[in-house]
Amino acid sequence: MTPQEASERAEAICRLAPVVPVLVIDDLAHARPLAEALVKGGLPALEVTLRTPVALDAIRIMSEVAGGTVGAGTLLTPADVRAAKAAGAKFGVSPGVTDRLLDACEADDLPLLPGAATATEVMALLERGYTVQKFFPAEASGGAPALKAIGAPIPQVRFCPTGGVSLKNANDYLRLSNTLCVGGSWVAPKEMMLRGDWAGIVALAQEAARLG
- What's the CATH code of the domain at 24? 3.20.20.70
* pLDDT exceeds 90 at position 99: yes
Torsion angles phi and psi, residue 22, rounded to 5 = -100, 110
- Which residue from 49, 34, 58, 83 is spatially nearest to 205, judged by alpha carbons? 34
Mean pLDDT of 16-45: 98
Confidence at residue 100, expressed as pLDDT on a 0 to 100 scale: 98
Per DSSP, which regions of 3-157 are E strands?
A: 19-23, 45-49, 69-73, 92-93, 112-113, 115-116, 132-135
In which band, very low, low, confident or very high, does the pLDDT at 6 lie, cut at 50, 70 and 90? very high
Cite the active site residues.
47, 134
Contact predicate 112/100, CB 8 Å? no
Cα distances from 124 to residues 53, 120, 133, in angstroms, run: 33, 6, 11
Percent of the chain at pLDDT above 90? 100
Confidence at residue 212, expressed as pLDDT on a 0 to 100 scale: 85
| Number of folded domains that form the chain | 1
Mean model confidence pLDDT for the chain:
98
In which band, very low, low, confident or very high, does the pLDDT at 23 lie, cut at 50, 70 and 90? very high
Q: For residue 32, what are the domain limits?
A: 3-209
Q: What is the DSSP string of 144-177?
A: HHHHHHHHTT-TT-EEEEBSS--TTTHHHHHTST
pTM of the model: 0.96
pLDDT digits (tens, 9 = 90+) for 165-185: 999 999 999 999 999 999 999
Cα 181 from Cα 169, distance rounded (Å) = 13
pLDDT digits (tens, 9 = 90+) for 65-82: 999 999 999 999 999 999
